[in-house]
């Protein structure tokens, strides 16, 4: 089984983090400070529409997490068409939620005299009596931000698609790596590298003389590329089966072969601690 490179996991991790971040950003409610600035701006524009440059927008009241109130220290008239346009442009500029309800409440009557609803979806927009201005009086504006249409569960299809893309990407890389490895294996034919009859190692067109034992050891490795061969197996097949007692001979020959293989960096003999040796191709 091919082990994917660490870079694959880094890429997958980054993609997952980007996905989580995008969901978090799209489901996080704006800071109260930003909302206060935007609502005060709307209040000032309503006063200017009344040619009033001396009256004040009173401090914005936060009635709940998503409900805010704009009030004034003087009477004003309100044009619904101007109100809807001003709120919409201000919210868009400051990137505030696009789903909200605006209520105009009469201070004297203590009841809603005008309201409308805005939504990202066209069927959710309700704007009545836009051409009828409200007479000069004391008003309070209630702004209620509705739950965003970009809720976590609305991201489920996109999340599944993203995860699917990540999985496909992972397996494509894995397949590519496997193909590359297979090509590498196929490109090394024993006869192209080792001439057993003449005891020659052939690397990059250069012939290197080998001893009898070096040839036998190299033949074993080339017959099992990228596989671990135990010390016991090497010793048994090269020496013990021929009645020879082995001391540190194996290590000596491995060391000599490593030096000769340096002419080709893509082939090397690795020492797998506690298990044996492996020729990496």
How do residues 231-270 score in pLDDT, each as one tens digit? Answer: 888 888 888 766 565 567 888 899 999 998 887 878 889 9
CA separation for the pair 64, 256 (Å, rounded):
80
pLDDT over 60 at 153, yes or no = no
Mean pLDDT within 164-188: 65
Q: Of the given ranges (73-82, 130-139, 156-165, 168-177), which has the lowest mean pLDDT?
A: 156-165
Confidence of residue 11 (pLDDT cuts 50, 70, 90): low
Q: What tens digit of pLDDT does each residue of 217-229 get?
A: 988 888 888 899 9
Confidence bin at 18 (pLDDT 50/70/90): low
| Range with the poorest average pLDDT among 63-67, 102-106, 118-122 | 118-122
Q: What is the pTM of this model?
A: 0.46
The structural architecture, per CATH, of the domain 188-280 is: Orthogonal Bundle (1.10)
Q: Give the pLDDT confidence of 114-141 residue by residue, as tens digits.
A: 999 998 877 667 777 777 899 999 999 9
Domain ranges of the chain: 6-25+153-183, 30-147, 188-280
Please check the confidence at residue 111 and state whether its pLDDT lies above 90. Answer: yes
φ/ψ of 72, rounded to 5, equals -130, 160
Q: Position of tokens 């004040």?
A: 56
Output the six-digit token pair for 63: 């009635």
Q: What pLDDT sits at residue 1?
A: 43
Q: Predicted confidence band at 171 (pLDDT cuts at 50, 70, 90)?
A: confident
Q: What's the pLDDT at 2? A: 43
H/E segment holding residue 195: strand 194-195
Q: What percent of the chain has pLDDT over 70?
A: 75
Q: What is the mean pLDDT of residues 10-38?
A: 68
pLDDT at 150 over 90: no
Q: How many CA atoms lie within 13 A of 134 on its CB side?
A: 26
pLDDT of residue 192: 74
CA-based nearest residue to 114, from 103, 124, 123, 106: 103
Beta bridge partners of 141: 70, 104
Specify the range with the lowest mean pLDDT, choosing from 16-20, 170-174, 183-187, 254-258. Answer: 183-187
Residue 200 CA to residue 68 CA, distance in Å, equals 87
How does strand 200-203 pair with strand 206-209?
antiparallel
Enter the tokens of residue 76: 């004003």
Q: Show the tokens assigned to 113.
A: 């005299």
Cα→Cα distances 65→32, 80, 184, 207, 244, Å: 9, 25, 62, 80, 86
What percent of the chain has pLDDT above 90? Answer: 34
Q: What angle do CA 32, 141, 64 make, to 5 degrees?
A: 40
Q: What DSSP character marks residue 57? A: B
């Amino acid at each position: 089984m091919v082990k994917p490179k660490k870079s694959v996991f880094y890429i997958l991790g980054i993609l997952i983090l980007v996905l989580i971040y995008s969901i978090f950003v799209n489901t996080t409610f704006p800071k109260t400070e930003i909302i206060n600035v935007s609502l005060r701006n709307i209040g000032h524009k309503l006063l200017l529409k009344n040619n009033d440059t001396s009256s004040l927008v009173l401090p914005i009241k936060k009635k709940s997490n998503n409900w805010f109130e704009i009030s004034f220290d003087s009477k004003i008239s309100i044009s619904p068409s101007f109100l809807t346009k001003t709120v919409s442009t201000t919210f868009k500029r400051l990137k505030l939620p696009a789903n909200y309800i605006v209520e105009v409440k009469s201070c004297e009557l203590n009841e809603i005299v005008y309201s409308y609803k805005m939504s990202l979806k066209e069927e959710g927009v309700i704007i009545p009596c836009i051409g009828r201005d409200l007479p000069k009086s004391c008003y309070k504006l209630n702004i209620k931000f509705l739950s965003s249409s970009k809720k976590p569960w609305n991201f489920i299809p996109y999340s599944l698609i993203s995860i699917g893309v990540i999985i496909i990407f992972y397996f494509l890389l894995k397949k590519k790596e496997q193909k590359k490895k297979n090509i590498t294996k196929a490109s090394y034919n024993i006869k192209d590298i080792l001439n057993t009859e003449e005891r020659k190692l052939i690397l990059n067109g250069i012939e290197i003389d080998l001893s009898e034992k070096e040839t036998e050891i190299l033949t074993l490795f080339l017959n099992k590329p990228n596989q671990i061969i135990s010390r016991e197996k090497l010793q048994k097949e090269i020496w013990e089966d021929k009645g020879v007692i082995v001391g540190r001979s194996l290590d000596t020959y491995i060391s000599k072969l490593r030096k000769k293989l340096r002419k080709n960096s893509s082939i090397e003999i690795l020492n797998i601690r506690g298990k044996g040796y492996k020729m990496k191709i």
